[in-house]
């Protein structure tokens, strides 16, 4: 006769001794990969439980996938710190947790003053069996009609009345408007080809001693 499984009891939190961190249900964590040459896995802890004596602590992990782990693979608009919240769950030993991290909403991530090693963002949920994403559509930008990648530099036309009727096409990648990133960073004002009275890019240098605080130039994410 098979031996009955010993009952387990739920825990609100657990302390991971080798990293001296307390983990709560709902926390996002970095977990040890099977192959040490791979980056750490990222998961959201859904549940924590232990045996009757409080040992053998297990966690129910809901995995985040990196773009390259998805069926479609990494695409140009995927940020370097982008993750997809998947429908893939596993029970893991709490000892495989190697640290805590933060998975921001896309909006919150783009407002960070600096991006740390343990900062990530998520804007899609991912079905690991079908490869489907939720939402299945996002806003596109620039003449290239690509979703926004927060790692990329973009410039905004200041007088884009026509472009505003075309979704978000008043934001441009420098390369798409025949401009280098260095030139874009030096801009005080930018007017796209449609809005420029000369029918080409028009730059206006500010006479102020310092760069205006409302300049519409979106710089790359700064990293700690």
Q: Which residues of 5-34 are buried (b: 16+ CB within 10 A; e: fewer)?
A: eeeeeebeebebeeeeeebebebbbbbeee
CA gap 117, 96 in Å, rounded:
19
- DSSP category for residue 175: G
- The string of pLDDT tens digits covering residues 136-182 is 988 888 888 899 999 999 998 887 755 444 445 688 999 998 999 99
- The string of pLDDT tens digits covering residues 31-71 is 999 888 899 999 999 999 999 888 899 999 999 999 999 99
Domains, in order of start, for the chain: 7-137 (2.30.30.490), 139-208 (3.30.40.10)
* pTM exceeds cut of 0.85: no
How many CB atoms sit inside 10 A of residue 186's CB?
A: 12
Lowest mean pLDDT among 16-20, 123-127, 163-167, 195-199: 163-167
CA gap 170, 131 in Å, rounded:
31
Across the chain, the runs of DSSP E, i.e. the strands, are 9-10, 13-16, 21-24, 28-31, 41-50, 58-65, 82-93, 97-105, 119-126, 133-134, 154-156, 171-172, 190-191, 202-203, 217-218
């Amino acid at each position: 006769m098979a031996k009955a499984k010993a009952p387990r009891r739920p825990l609100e939190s657990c302390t991971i001794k080798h990293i001296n961190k307390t983990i709560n249900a709902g926390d996002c964590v970095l977990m040890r990969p099977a192959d040490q040459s791979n980056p750490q896995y990222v998961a959201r802890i859904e549940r924590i439980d232990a045996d009757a004596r409080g040992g053998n602590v297990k966690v129910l992990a809901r995995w985040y996938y990196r773009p390259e782990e998805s069926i479609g693979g990494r695409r140009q608009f995927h940020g370097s710190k982008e993750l997809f919240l998947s429908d893939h769950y596993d029970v893991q030993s709490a000892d495989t947790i190697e640290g805590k991290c933060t998975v921001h909403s896309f909006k919150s991530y783009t407002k960070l003053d600096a991006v740390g090693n343990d900062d990530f963002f998520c804007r899609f949920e991912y079905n690991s069996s079908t490869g489907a994403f939720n939402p299945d559509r996002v806003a596109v930008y620039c003449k290239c009609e690509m979703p926004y990648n927060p790692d990329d530099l973009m410039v905004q036309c200041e007088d884009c009345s026509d472009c505003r009727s075309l979704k978000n096409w008043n934001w441009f990648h420098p390369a798409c408007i025949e401009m280098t990133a260095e030139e874009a960073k030096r801009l005080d004002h930018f007017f796209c080809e449609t809005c420029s009275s000369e029918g080409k890019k028009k730059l206006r240098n500010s006479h102020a001693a310092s760069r205006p605080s409302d300049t519409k130039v979106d710089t790359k994410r700064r990293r700690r």
